[in-house]
Structure 1
């Protein structure tokens, strides 16, 4: 599945156009490599998404074509959240 579509369906980013813009700006990496919006996402990939002062790292748990809002969080596991302004981390390091 394309990266921009995965981000929208999983609701990590609410709109596909916004996901595409962020990816094309080089603010998303998959397994340590900068990814474009058309990059394929696979199960067990590690995504790092940089939003302004916040960086979120998630592991892709499953990929589905459609999902309900309540079930979208089952598509990924948050590994860590880092805030640039004060360098604090939320979540456990794995």
Structure 2
């Protein structure tokens, strides 16, 4: 499954377009490599997202085309979540 579609299906991001924009800005890594929106996601992959003042690192547990809101959190496991300080010049 494509990275942008997975992030929307797992409800990590609300819109697929938001996932695309983050990836094109170089703010999403899959297995420690900068990812494109079309990067294929497999079970076991680690995804790191930087959005706002947050970094979220997850591990892909399952991939499904459709999932209910209640079961969306079962598609991934949060490895690390942290707030980062904004850099001031």
**Same-fold call, TM cutoff 0.5:** yes
Q: TM-score, normalised by structure 2?
A: 0.94
Any unmatched runs of 5+ in structure 1?
Answer: 87-94
3-state SS, counterpart of residue 69 of structure 1: coil
Aligned length, in residue pairs: 86
The runs of at least 4 aligned residues of structure 1 exceeding 6 Å deviation read: none
Q: TM-score, normalised by structure 1?
A: 0.89
> Considering only aligned residues, what root-mean-square deviation do their CA atoms show, in Å?
1.1
Listed one character per residue, the Cα deviations across residues 30-87 of structure 1 (whole Å, up to 9, x for unaligned) are 000000000000000000000121000000000000000000000000001111129x
Q: CA–CA distance in 2 between the matches of 1:85 and 1:22?
A: 19
Any unmatched runs of 5+ in structure 2?
Answer: none
The residue that corresponds to 1:91 in the other structure is none
